[in-house]
Structure 1
Amino acid sequence: MITGANGFLGQALCAQAVVRGMGVRGTTRLPHGRLAGVEPCAVGDIDGLTPWQAALTGCEVVVHLAARVHVMQEVAAHPLAEFRKVNVEGTLNLARQAAAAGVRRFVFLSSIKVNGEATQPGVPYRADDTPAPQDPYGLSKFEAEQGLHQIALQTGMELVVIRPPLVYGPGVKANFASMMRLLQRGIPLPLGAIHNRRSLVALDNLVDLIVLCITHPAATNQTFLVSDGEDVSTPELLRRTGQAMGHPARLLSVPTPCLRLAAAIVGRQDVAGRLWGSLQLDIEKTQRLLGWRPPLTLNQGLKQAVKGYGREAGR
């Protein structure tokens, strides 16, 4: 059973699981158009009271993708309470019912925000580092992980936790899509003087790891970080994406202190910090325990994202 089956990641995972011969039940909040080869199941809103029994019948593995995701402009009066309702209470309610239904393994898509918001260049996060979430979304994912470990310990249900960084690919929205729009329009960007390092993960690479974690015996009760295995600076990411789009990035070398001042003036320090800050992941544990290597290089992943963006723009 895959939750969030109609989402950016859910659709890609369902499709790949079907290709690999798995029987898939895809759950969504509302009734959704049928995905090829996937048994659909609408479950309503996800919280601590959601009834999952019908969706869980006959399932050996649950892959839980559905979540209240991180948003750049929060409108909820109490963000942490809203994140906890879905990401903590909803997740743990599902896990308890899954264990009671005899589900063998629970694969949970968490977030690198459990580790923290930024790293020093050359000092990446590791899977077994002490968590240090700093925003309501990251905290809710961490609390969900803690509760899941307790349920796994009490019930014997196997648990696999995956913490990805920014995921990009065909159909990507939010900041990555905004970046491609700016590149397409040829707008000069004042980011040429940034010297950071960031990890990303292509959609197909993340899907490949999740599928592996559904069955791999060494994944049992482990936490994994995932990335493309190649870290880039913000200017390099812009250059490579622009090259893939056929719209070379136009970068201006504005000193970082000037960027910080401009961001503070407009109240967007959070966005700006992602542009010049570093966030690196060490995936050595993932590679060593699972024998996993990212199927796509960063350049291949960018080409797929650009191709998907072109299809969306042409509609």
Structure 2
Amino acid sequence: MTQTRYTLQQHHVNLKSSVKLSHVNMYHCESPASNIFPGHPYSKIIFIQKGQGQFYFGNQFLPVRENDLLLVNPDKQKFSVDVRESPLDFVILGIENLSFIDDTKQCILLFTRLSFPSDTCQHLMQMLIHELEKHSEFYEDACRYYLNLILIEIQRNTNIHYDFPSKEKNNRDCKFVKEYLDSHYTENITLDILSKESKMNKYYLVHSFTKHFGCSPISYLNDKRIEESKNLLETTNHSIAAIASMIGFSSQSYFSQSFKKNTFMTPNEYRRASRQI
């Protein structure tokens, strides 16, 4: 497999949209081959230039062929590409500050495939690639210009719309998630539940929360539970199993493991030490 990467620097033209085209990766995959690609906390448009193959996202897969578009919402999970019959050429546009949503204004599934929505869209993609390869003056601004036109063409010809999360909205959403965790830490909480309650894509949720608070939502939840368990260990005679259940841990062993990782002491050691003071 060969890869050509173009990294885009700060743009010169003040585009109206907050969307940022951060980079473009161009891939050539020989057949037969299976290639693994890392996930990222930003959206991607994948354009199949030539050939055919299959893209695997977890347990789901999409067959692709020339001129297909894949729209991928922010996701840190890896994905893979299988090429069996002929070499596959494709381009990945990395796009920040954008999520793909449907007519109901809900985030689409992690990914979706479009047969190229219009001849104009296909031409614009080819022009963007041409700018990258030619590398003329102001090519970065031209690439961002073509990206905006591509996004317009997609919205004109499909049921796909866009969400442009602002910093203020991200702050409100992250604060809501934190307050929800503070109030519901004794319950069984998963990323799927947080995503539903906050109406955020779960992968974007993790990225935003971690950036805002310095840890993932699940790490924050575990730390919150550990802090509450310390108070129960200090002030009550409840058994370790009872405390684990009261603060939301699925088992005593998982609670003890998490507690020791956090405090370098077992719950019983912490209880004895706190009562010797």
| TM-score bracket, shorter-length normalisation | under 0.3
More contact order relative to length (CA 8 Å, sep ≥ 6) = 1
Larger radius of gyration: 2
Structure 1 length as normaliser, TM-score? 0.24
TM-score (norm 2): 0.26
Query: Which is richer in strand?
Result: 2
